[in-house]
Amino acid sequence: MLGKLNLWCGAALLCVGPNIYAQESAEEKRDVTLTVGDVIDKPGVLSPKGTWSLEGSLSFTQNSSNRVSVVGYTVLPTLIVGRIEVSDADFVTTTFGLTARLGLTNATEFELRLPYVYRNDQVVVRPIQDGSPDVINRSNSGGAIGDLEVALRHQFNFNSTPYWIGGLRVKTRTGRSPYDIEIDESTNTLKDVSTGSGFWSVEPSLTMLYPSDPAVLYANIGYIFNIEDTVEVGSDEQKIALGDTISIGGGMGFAVNPDLSFSLGVSHKTILKSKVNGQEADDAKLLHLDSLTMGVNLKMNDRSSLNISAQAGLTEDTPDFQLSLRVPYYF
């Protein structure tokens, strides 16, 4: 979500921002009373009525984890009975996305996004307590269509700041679910890569944009509802309810000149505990994901721009690094 906000912020600075300021200046010269129709017919942050755009995107995400697991118990602080395992996991995900946006009205925008996900997962496990020289190495790679997303956004106000934008996003389950993949019991890992969550989700959100020439401040809050579903785990059917996600973020976009802007933002996500058959698992825990994002937006011509952003994880569960490239084209 923060990456999308950076793109909005850059677009607002390069395209919408000057239009807003020009409109405000023109309004000061007009000695007439604005009607509701006048306000609705103004262009805003979203796609104007009847216009549409197509955006190609490419993102590269890298996440690694090094852990020492103790399978057993301790008799004394220096004596461990059982087995110690050292694991090294590296996950690399490349996502190709195609997004279409259509302005239903000057205040409402429709969006459709279809991703293609390619993953390379590598897990190395070595038991060291029993002196075993064997190293278990499991590597999986492959790609498939990800989860299709449909969204609606609506701008609530035009002639006063800050600007408020509400959103509703629905994520489908068109990607390959991890529950449809067999598990390798020797390494306790999946035998193939998943490209989707396997669950439907609904995400309402609220975004605030505050122009302060030559910058735009932004903030957003959202909540992801994951819809409970019945899946097959081995030979049993279980009801799985993935933990919902609370997300907040904010930052600033700064216009260097009419064609170039950069943005800086932070985001936080709290993933609540998942449930199996209505009960929380003993090892279930809250996950806190914090990240720092920097982006640059370059206007190439009147119809297209280039957006590059880099995201660094600030907590253990957050992906280590993500690099994204977006190129929207406005028709």
Model confidence band, residue 36 (pLDDT cutoffs 50, 70, 90): very low
The pLDDT value given to residue 58: 97
Mean pLDDT of the chain: 81
Tell me the pLDDT tens digit for each residue of 237-264: 888 888 899 999 999 999 999 899 999 9
What 3 state SS string does 179-217 have?
HHCCEECCCCEECCCCCCCCCCEEEEEEEEEEEECCEEE
Contacts of 317 (CB under 8 A, 6+ apart): 287, 288, 289
Inter-residue contact 204 to 223 (CB < 8 Å): yes
Structure-block tokens of residue 94: 């490349």
- Please give the sequence-ordered ranges of beta strands (E in DSSP) within the chain, or none if there are none: 52-76, 79-103, 108-127, 136-145, 149-155, 163-171, 183-184, 189-190, 201-212, 215-226, 229-233, 236-241, 245-257, 260-271, 275-276, 279-280, 287-299, 305-313, 321-330
Structure-block tokens of residue 131: 């002196």
pLDDT of 168 above 80:
yes
The pLDDT value given to residue 57: 97
pLDDT of 176 above 60:
yes
pLDDT of 71 above 70:
no
Residue 320, CA distances (Å) to 92, 140, 277, 323 in order: 10, 20, 33, 11
Thinking of the domain 2-330, which architecture would CATH place it in?
Beta Barrel (2.40)
Percent of the chain with pLDDT over 90: 50
Q: Where are the domains of the chain?
A: 2-330
More confident residue, 186 or 307: 307
CA nearest 122: which of 84, 149, 90, 95?
Answer: 90
- For residue 295, give the 3-state DSSP assignment: strand
